[in-house]
Amino acid sequence: MNQFLLLDHLEKTFGSLRVIADLSLEVAEGEILALLGPSGSGKTTVLRLVAGFETPDSGRVVVEEEDVTRTPPERRRFGMVFQHYALFPHMTVAENVAFGLEAQGMGRGEAAARVAETLAVVDLSGFQGRRVTQLSGGQQQRVALARALAPRPRVLLLDEPLSNLDPTLRERTRRELARVIRRVGITTVFVTHEQEEAFDLADRVAVIHRGALQQVGSPEALYESPATRFVASFIGRSNALPATWDAAGNVAVLPTGQRWPAVPGDPVSGGKPVDLLVRPESLVFADAGAAGAVPGTVVARRYGGRASLFIVALEGLAEVEVSADSRAARPEERVAVAPSSEGPMPRVYSKERNSETPA
């Protein structure tokens, strides 16, 4: 891979709290990488380490083979869009966008031309004289993007770029953001806690939990072959059932005796208790006598058009979600649930390894 930005074994503690633990990542030139994780996972800290607002305890940040770990932010030539945009409220749109150019010592005429050009890219031509406080949220976000892009940075960093917007605006803004970034062709790292946002915008997604990189890959890879118990439950919907692993038969044995085919998600040994993670679309309603069928009662149905999500209380087990045709069952109906031949293969994760990791 054509490595452009490298995070090399980063470590960071705040006081006694270890926020980033041995994190390494590579980003190719022109690639868009999402840092995805729940709040408090350390993803924003990773971004701040890359931007230079924090200094790692150990490890390196390398861009274009230049080690910038100790370089202050103003000399890294990275552009950043902040969560609340951090537009300078005492300046106009043009003054905001020109701020980085001015710091570079660019002449007035050239800077004005660059401002106009960059505002055109974000579709805000003619907004130069506006005060930033007079703009809508979406416009502010685009000014922030233009301000970050105007000095032609090497890397673009975005901290939760859409979280500050009205939900109805978010999807449109996301498409516009994707269009601008692709058109500029800049190497981009952005932080988000929303899976949909990460999947929609990014070439690759890095899932971070408790300061550690869980898995990095395409959305498909994350969904279909989650590398850890955390990724399996954090990405998409999934049901967790207790089971025992039969390594010889590649089956998970449920406490009620049924045997469900599965693959190991992390190194597990036979005969050990495991967590079995099954996607709702990997379960079907079946006849009571079918192979692996577990009897249960439909508790509720969450209607979703043609396919709905059924909540089923399995006898002697837990409640699970089953994705099926909306007319397949009704609440309070007695049913049987079995593994489907379609959908991602159920995966098992060792219990001890994840004992401190809640789903």
Partner 1 sequence: MRLRRKSPPHPGPLPGGEGAGLLLGLILAWLVAYPLLLTLAEALGSPNWTLSHFAEFLRRPDEWRALWGSLWISLATTALAAAIGVPLAFLFERTEFPGRRMLGTLIALPVVLPPLVGVIAFLFLYGEGGFLSRAVQAATRSAEPPWRLSGPAAILLVHAYTMFVYFYLFTRAGLARLDAAFLEAAAALGAGRARVLRKVTLPLLRPALAGAALLTFMTSLGSFSAPYLMGGTFRVMTTQIVFSRLNGDTEMAMVETITLAALALVGLSFLQRAEKRREVAGAIRGAAPGRRQLARGVLVATSGWIFAALLLLPHATLLLLSFVPAGTWTTQLLPPVFSISNWRSVFSEPERLRPIVNSLWMAAAATAGALLLGFAAADTAVRRRSRTGPVLETLLALPWALPGTVFAVAFAAAFSKNAPWAGRFVLVGTAAILPLAYLARNLPLTGRAAFAGLRQLDPALEEAAASLGASPWRRRLRVTLPLIAPALSAGVALAFLTALGDFVVSIVLYTFETRPISIEILSSLRMTETGVAAAYGVLLALLSAVVFLVWGARSTDDARARPPG
State the nearest-atom distance from the C-beta of 355 to partner 1, in Å: 29
Closer residue to partner 1, CB minimum distance, 148 or 251: 148
Choose which of 29, 82, 137, 328 interacts with partner 1 (CB under 8 A).
Answer: 82
Say if CB 46 and CB 2 are below 8 A apart.
no
Residue 74 interacts with partner 1 (CB under 8 A)?
Answer: yes
Closer residue to partner 1, CB minimum distance, 99 or 297: 99
Say if CB 23 and CB 48 are below 8 A apart.
no
Choose which of 7, 27, 48, 189 interacts with partner 1 (CB under 8 A).
Answer: 48
Which stretch, 95-103, 198-206, 209-217, 227-235, contacts partner 1 (CB under 8 A)?
95-103
Choose which of 22, 57, 66, 84 interacts with partner 1 (CB under 8 A).
Answer: 84
Residue 73 interacts with partner 1 (CB under 8 A)?
Answer: yes
State the nearest-atom distance from the C-beta of 87 to partner 1, in Å: 8
Residue 109 corresponds to which amino acid?
G
Residue 62 corresponds to which amino acid?
V
Report how far apart, in Å, the C-alpha atoms of 63 and of each of 2, 97, 133, 187 are. 12, 24, 35, 11
Structure tokens at 336: 């049987």
Say if CB 159 and CB 121 are below 8 A apart.
no
Residue 104 interacts with partner 1 (CB under 8 A)?
Answer: yes
Say if CB 223 and CB 196 are below 8 A apart.
no
Helix, strand and coil content of the chain, in percent to the nearest 5, comes to 25, 35, 40
* Contacts (CB under 8 A) with partner 1, residues 195-224: none
Only one residue has tokens 């500029």, namely: 184
Say if CB 13 and CB 22 are below 8 A apart.
no
Residue 51 interacts with partner 1 (CB under 8 A)?
Answer: yes
State the nearest-atom distance from the C-beta of 323 to partner 1, in Å: 35
Structure tokens at 259: 């045997």
The mark string for 148-177 relative to partner 1 (x by CB under 8 A, - otherwise) is x--x-----x--------------------
Binding site for partner 1 (CB under 8 A): 14, 44-45, 48, 51-55, 72-80, 82-84, 86-90, 99-100, 103-104, 147-148, 151, 157
